[in-house]
Structure 1
Amino acid sequence: MAWNEPGNNDKDPWKNKGGSNQGPPDLDDLLKDLGQKVSGVFGGKPSGSGGSGKSFSSVGIILAVIIAALVYAFSGFYTIKEAEQGIVLRFGQYAGTEDPGLRWKWTFIERIIPVDMQTTRDLPAAGFMLTQDENVVRVEMQVQYRVVDARNYVFSVTDADDSLSQSLDSALRYVVGHAAMDDILTSGRETIRQSVWEELEKIIEPYNLGLIVVDVNFKDARPPEEVKDAFDDAISAQEDEVRFLREAEAYARGIEPRARGRVKRMEQEAIAYKEQTILDAEGAVARFEKILPEYQAAPEVTRQRMYLTAMEKVYSNTSKVMVDVEGGNNMMYLPLDKIIQQQGSAPRVIPQATTGLSQAPVSTNTKPSTSGRSDRFSSGRN
């Protein structure tokens, strides 16, 4: 039969403890035993007197107070990282800021909110927008910002990051709505970026968000997929136009210096020719002035000498042939230039006919008549 069945209840362990019927142990007895053991550990006398219970109560309270004080003291230490700044809230009210390092706060009284002050954060914005010329374009832009005032960043608005995101979207739609689609897709991207930056700073300035905009990046702008091919062709044509203009400018920059160089060379050659002509004329005049007194002193001799000099210049550059027209129908001549070139070789006979009449050999040693030569010279002078 189980000990807890009705009827005989002698097997109840709480009543038969120690061999006699006893009730459950009293809580005071348990605490007293525990106090005696603790007081024995700390040098007290583990007796059953009432003084030892009083001693245990005071020691336990002191020990608990000391442990609680230590736990409270150590729980107040905290660390603020190098890139952060701590916002101190005392009973929920702003009480100041803390610099990086190891700090201590009143637990349950003060609260610390760390704020990253050095990290550059990114915030994207994108969407389909209507341009000034009533075209739809999808624009993607990204803003980079940093916290400069921790108090304003935490307390000026409910969520500074969300406020900045809404301001960026508003500024982007305002600028795109006042720009043409061609400018957004092609050459006006930098202008759009600068305009969005300026408009964003104007929007967030009254709210004192404690933020500074570091940069605004224009990531992408494209038309809807339905008309993307047509816009791609237009953009390619504009890029070709710019490329052709650049090539033309490069060609002009290459041709112009060479043309200027040729002009300069021609000018210098003309100046040199002019100076040479003037010097030649001055030399001719000087030579004539020197010859004139000689001519006036002996005109015939001077005329004869000038004639011989002129003929020497003329005959020095021409082939010379001596012809003998005396002695019948045969005309004989001597090619003096050939004879001079063949000096040192054996004499040979050179036949030649010029009139179709009978030919006669002429020896290279034949000398022409001097009378005919003098007559020709005299007739030439006349």
Structure 2
Amino acid sequence: MSEKNYEININPDWIKKYLGKIVIGFFLLVALFSSIRTVGPEEEGVVVQLGEYNRTVQPGLNFMIPFGIEKMHKIPVQRQLKQEFGFRTSNASRSSDYVKAGYVDESMMLTGDLNLTDVEWVVQYRITDSFKYLFRVRNAEKTLRDMSESAMRKIVGDRTVNEVLTVGRQEVASSVEVLLQSMCDDYENGIRIDQVVLQDVNPPEPVKPSFNAVNQAQQERETLINQAEAEYNRVIPRARGEAEETIQLAEAFALNRVNRSLGEAERFNALYEAYMKAPEVTKQRIYLETMEKILPKIGNKIIVDEKGNNVLPLLNIDKVKTAKP
């Protein structure tokens, strides 16, 4: 087979004619792509012209001076942001995964009673002023992280380890939120703190068994105290009720005896006055009233002659009693 050589002849005039158009088209294309910026619905665009703030644009399609004369910083002003301390979220899903290694220095803190505790927390915040966020503070996110860590260490350092681990957790979070917001206002970094959440608070790993033993002992102590108080509330009111009942019965008995004694004294005085007026009549009336009370209590009575010596008639007394209706 024979080899054929192909030669391409380029016309210099054609290159001169279209090269300028190609360069101009490429220049216009670059200018077009570098001048159009899209701002998302949750963002604001801060336009900087030659390193100086120029304007703030709203979400949508926006045009800028191309070739780097104007640059845009997109700030998520409508989105809630967060910073994590002492851990990082490696996989955010329904069952999120967290990484602890490498972040212990952030969370290890000294409490007011000179104990160590491992405090993990989350700061949730929003950017309210994009201009202040970019230009009032250098590297606002890192500054916020430093302020958050400083505020948490201050609040934890004012409390005991038991307060931080148990009953004082909500108070610690609220105090850090207030202090951190005050610091943001002083720095004018354009950030509003939404919430500070204590994710987890634990004693350091080497002393965790001792802390757990102390907590268990405290819980047992509280249980015994509650049981004692329950027993106290059950027994003491009943004893007080019984004592009150005894006192009331004694008072009633004393009142009854006093009233009865007063009545008998009045009766005796009345009888004495009647006796003084008519002694014989009164003695006769007293005798008859006394016999009226005594005789019904004696039962059957056998009256015999004092000269009767024969006891045989007395042998059938029981039959006579039985024969009576």
The bucket for the TM-score relative to the shorter chain is 0.5 to 0.7
Kindly indicate whether residue 295 of structure 2 is the aligned counterpart of residue 364 of structure 1: no
Structure 2 CA distance for partners of 1:309 and 1:105, relative to 1, 3 Å: farther
Which residue is 2:82 aligned to?
Answer: 121
1: CA distance, partners of 2:175 / 2:270: 88
Once residues 254 and 27 of structure 1 are traced to their aligned partners in structure 2, the CA distance between those partners, rounded to angstroms, is 114
Q: Report 1:74-223 matches (<5 A).
A: 78=38, 81=41, 84=42, 86-91=44-49, 92-97=51-56, 104-106=62-64, 108=66, 109=70, 111=72, 113-117=74-78, 119=80, 121=82, 123-125=84-86, 126-131=106-111, 135-177=115-157, 179-186=159-166, 189=169, 192-193=172-173, 196-197=176-177, 200-201=180-181, 204-223=184-203
- Code of the aligned partner of 1:223: P
CA distance in 1, matches of 2:109, 2:172: 14
Contact 1:129 1:138 in 2 (8 A): yes
Question: Deviation string for 1:159-202 (max 9, x for gaps)?
Answer: 33332222222333444455544554455545654554555456
Q: CA deviation at 1:236?
A: 1.2
2:44 partner letter: G
Secondary structure, aligned partner of 1:363: helix
Larger Rg: 1
Q: Which has the higher contact order (CA 8 A, sep 6+)?
A: 2
The change in CA–CA distance for 1:298 and 1:192 in structure 2 (over 3 A counts) is: same
C-alpha distance in 2 between matches for 1:153 and 1:184: 32
Q: 1:321 to 1:97 in 2, by over 3 A?
A: farther
TM-score by length of 2: 0.62
Unaligned runs of 5+ in 2: 87-105
Where structure 1 has 5 or more consecutive residues not aligned to the other structure, the ranges are 5-11, 15-22, 32-59, 334-358, 368-382
**What percentage of residue pairs aligned between the two structures are identical?**
28
Alignment CA distance shift 1:310-1:135 (3 Å): same
Is the contact between residue 109 and residue 116 of structure 2 (CA under 8 Å) also seen in structure 1? yes
Q: Which SS does the other structure have where 2:80 is aligned?
A: coil
Query: Paired residue for 2:225?
Result: 245
Deviation at 1:89, TM superposition (A): 0.9
CA distance in 2, matches of 1:229, 1:319: 91
Give the match for residue 348 of structure 1. none
Task: Report how many residues are paired.
Answer: 287
CA distance change for structure 1 residues 314 and 262 in 2, over 3 Å: closer, same or farther?
A: farther
Deviations 1:31-66 (A, max 9, x none): 9xxxxxxxxxxxxxxxxxxxxxxxxxxxx9xxx9xx
Q: Is the 8 A contact 2:83 2:145 kept in 1?
A: no
Q: Aligned partners of 1:230, 1:332: CA distance in 2, in Å?
A: 105
CA contact (8 A) 2:47 2:72 kept: yes
Deviations 1:132-169 (A, max 9, x none): 55544323233333333332223333433332222222
1:82-106 per-residue CA deviation (whole Å, 9 max, x = no partner) reads xx4514314253344456x656544
For the residues of structure 2 that align with 1:94 and 1:117, how far apart are their CA atoms? 21
AA aligned to 2:4 is W
1:3 counterpart residue number: 4
Q: Secondary structure at the match of 1:157?
A: coil
Q: Does 1:228 align with 2:203?
A: no
